[in-house]
Amino acid sequence: MTPRYTLFFLLLLPLSIFSQNTVVEKVEPPFWWTGFKNTDLQLLVYGRNIASSSVTVDYPGFVLKKVHKVENPNYLFLDLTISSGARPGIATIQFKAKDKVVGKYLYELKARKKGSAQRKSFTSHDVIYLLMPDRFANGETSNDFSAGMAEQLNRSNLDGRHGGDIKGIMDHLDYFQDLGVTALWINPLLENNQEKYSYHGYSTTDYYLVDPRFGTNEDYLKLSDALHLRGIKLIKDMIFNHCGSGHWWMKDLPSAEWINQWPEFTRTNYRASTFTDPYASQADSNFFVRGWFDLTMPDLNQANPYLKNYLIQNSIWWIEYAGLDGIRQDTYPYPFKEMMAEWCKRLNDEYPEFNIVGECWLNYPASVAYWQKGSVNKDGYESSLPTVFDFPLYDALNKAFQEPESWNTGIVRLYEILAQDFSYPNPDNLVVFADNHDVGRFLDMQNSDIRKQKMAMAFILTTRGIPQIYYGTEILMSAGTDKGDASRRKDFPGGWAGDPQNAFTEVGRTKAQSDMYNYLKKLIHWRNSNEVVHTGKFRHFIPADGIYVYFRYNTKSTVMVVINNNEAEKNIETGRYNEFLKNFKSGNEIISGKKLDDLSKLTVPGKSVVIIELK
C-alpha cells in the first residue's frame, strides 16, 4: 500500500463509523417526561435520508405507534405513547437501513417535578415587569462574541447587539425585589442566529435553544429557580406565527407547506380585524394569516399537523423544563386560530391554573374580547386563551392626560373604555399597560411630563386587571431625539461595566429618577399587600370637570381613587360619592401617608392621582 492509499483508508474508516452513528442529526423534543395526562408524543427526527431507515424503540411503556414520512426524506415524525406505568429512564431509538444500524438516539424520559401540574400562574395579584434582555444588563462579557453567531456585539449600533444577557438579569434580583414587581416578562431568549437586527429575539432560529449570547438553557433554568426563591414569576415570550429566516429548517424544509409560501415576498396586512369583521374579503383575510410578518420572518403554517404538534410540545417542554409561570404569545391572531385554540386547551389540560397572555393588538374592546376564553362569538369560535392585553385601554391612556377635557376627550376616555368591559368574559384577566417594547415610551408620548407618567402608573396599578410596567419607566427612560424601535429599547444605565451612570442604585439615580422610582415602589408594594386592588369589585362615576373617581371594594375594604386631570388643584365636594363614602369616616392617603379625618371635602393637586384607603 502506498502512503497515499494508507491515508485514503485512514480517512475512510473513521468517516464510515462517523456516518453510521450520526445519521440522526436532531430529535425534537430532545427529551420528555413521564406522567403527563396526554400520553402521546410526536418526535421530529432529522438526518440525511432518514426516511429510508426503519425505526425501533425498545423500552417498557414507551411504544412506537406510527412512523410518518413526509415530502423531504431527511425527516421522520414518530408517534409514540408513554403509558402511565412507564418509568423514567433512557430509551434507545434505533434506526436501521438494509439491516444495518445507521443511527441511534438515547431518548431520556425524565420524572416530572412534584406539583408541576398544579403550578400557579400570574394573575391580577401580580405586577409584571417587562424587560428586553439584550438591553437590560451585560452580566457576562465572555458571551458577547459567540462563535457561529452571524451577528456580533456592536454597542454603538442602536439596532445591533449590545450584550445584555441572563446573567445580567440574575445580577439584579435585589433590584426587582426592591421595586416590588412579582413577575418578569422577558422578551424572547431563544436563538436568533440572523445576520442583523437579531437583538429583539423575535426571529427564532432554534426552538429548543437559548441564544448563546444570552447564556445557556441551564442558565435560564437557574434564573427561573432564583426568581422563584424570591417569589417572582417567570413569563416566557413565545412566537408561533413566524420563525427567523436563519432557522435551521429553512435550508431543508420538511415539506413545502411547512411555511406559507408565495410566488414572491408577500407581507401580511397586519389587520387583525379581518378575523372578526363580518364584511372582510377573503383576500384580505388570506393576506393577514398567510402573509409574512417580515422578509426575515417566514410565516409558519400551523395548519400542518406536524408543525402544530411541534409547537404545542415545544411550549410544554419549556414549561416543564424551566418551571415557567406563564407565557406571553406574540402576534396572537396571526397564526391559524384553530391551532391556537387547541394549543391553549392542551396547556390547560396539563396545567389547569396556567396563564397565557396573547398579544391581540386591536383597538376596540369587542375585537379584543373575541380572543378571550369564554367569549360567545357569533362564528362559534372559542379561543380558550385566558388573558389578553388591553390595547384599547392603552390607547385611551395615551390620550387621556394630553387632550383638553370635553364630552368625548380627556379623562372620559378611560371611563368609556372601562364601560365596555361587558364585552369581556373576564376583565380581571386583561393585562393593563401604558407602554411596551413595540410602542413609544409613555413619557415621550406625554411631552416628558413626569406628572402624567405618575398618573398612568397610579391608574394601571389600581384599575382592574394585571398591571405591566416596561423596564426603565421607573427611572424615566426616554427615547430622546432618536427614532424607531431601538430608541425605546435603550440600555438600562448601569447595566454595563463603565456606564457613566448606575440607575440600579439609589445613589446612582438623579433626583427626578429617584422621585419616580420611589413613587412607583411605594405604589407597587402597597398594591402587593392589598387584595382589594387585585380582585375587588370596580365601580366608577362619570367624570366631571376633569375629575374621575372610582372605587375598588370587597367585603373587607374599600379604596377610593381620584384622578384630577386639570392643571389646577381642585377642591372636591364628595357628596356625589356617598354611595360609598357614607360607610366611612376617615381615610389614609397612601402616597403622602396623610390621614384624612373629613371625607366630605378633598383637595387634589393638578395632574395627579390620590388613592385613599377608607376607614
- Catalytic residues, by residue number, are 330, 359
How would you classify the pairing of strands 466-470 and 430-433?
parallel
Give the footprint of Ca ion on this chain (CB under 5 A). Answer: 138, 140, 143-144, 163, 165
> How many CB atoms are located within 10 Å of the residue 57 CB?
17
Instruction: Choose between 163 and 358: whose C-beta lies nearer to Ca ion.
Output: 163
CB of 99 to Ca ion, least distance (A): 50
CB of 138 to Ca ion, least distance (A): 4
Q: How far is CA 366 from CA 334, 336, 362, 419, 454, in A?
A: 18, 20, 9, 12, 29
Instruction: Choose between 144 and 342: whose C-beta lies nearer to Ca ion.
Output: 144
Instruction: Choose between 165 and 191: whose C-beta lies nearer to Ca ion.
Output: 165
Nearest to 430 by CA among 75, 156, 124, 80: 124
CB of 504 to Ca ion, least distance (A): 16
Q: How far is Cα 137 from Cα 163, in angstroms, rounded to an integer?
A: 8
Instruction: Choose between 138 and 302: whose C-beta lies nearer to Ca ion.
Output: 138
CB of 572 to Ca ion, least distance (A): 52
Instruction: Choose between 165 and 474: whose C-beta lies nearer to Ca ion.
Output: 165
**Long-range contacts made by residues 225-230, C-beta under 8 angstroms, separation at least 24?**
225/323, 226/170, 226/173, 227/173, 227/184, 228/323, 230/173, 230/176, 230/177
* DSSP single-letter state for residue 31: -
What's the grid cell of residue 537?
A: 369589585
What number of helices (H) and strands (E) belong to the chain? Answer: 15, 26
Cross-strand bridge partners of residue 19:
none
* DSSP single-letter state for residue 421: G
CB of 322 to Ca ion, least distance (A): 20
Q: Which residues of 573-610 are buried (b: 16+ CB within 10 A; e: fewer)?
A: ebeebeebbeeeeebebbbeeeebeebeebebeebbbb
Instruction: Choose between 140 and 237: whose C-beta lies nearer to Ca ion.
Output: 140
Cell 376607614 -> residue: 615
CB of 304 to Ca ion, least distance (A): 36
Report the length, in residues, of the chain. Answer: 615
